[in-house]
Amino acid sequence: RRELPDGGARPSVAQFKQLVVSALRELHGEVGAALPVDVLTYEEKTLSAILRVVSSGLVKLWSALTLLGFYQNRRCAFRVLQISPFLLALAGNSRELVL
């Protein structure tokens, strides 16, 4: 999830994908930018997305998003909420399970 402390523009899904690629390029160069990352879902209202990346590229993606501090000259931050090798596991959060 992307967090904007001062509000600001909300990117479309294409702009969000470009932001992810540019974060990878900035930290890891052209090799990082070539990492196959897919945006499976994106909610413009909450700025939340589900990204798909090969397991060998997870650390590169996570580090690039964590170290990105600005978008269009405005402060922003990414917060990784969950990771999983299975999409079904992302459907629910075991920490919020009510018995």
The domain locations on the chain are 13-91
The helix/strand/coil state of 7 is: coil
- Please report how many Cα atoms fall inside a 13 Å half-sphere around the Cα of residue 76, on the Cβ side: 22
**Any bridge partners for residue 38, and if so which?**
52
CATH number of the domain located at residue range(s) 13-91 in this protein:
3.30.70.3250
Q: Give the chain's length.
A: 99
What is the arithmetic mean of pLDDT over 65-77?
Answer: 86
Predicted confidence (pLDDT) per residue in 7-22, tens digit: 667 788 999 999 999 9
pTM for this entry? 0.80
Give the chain's radius of gyration (CA, Å). Answer: 14
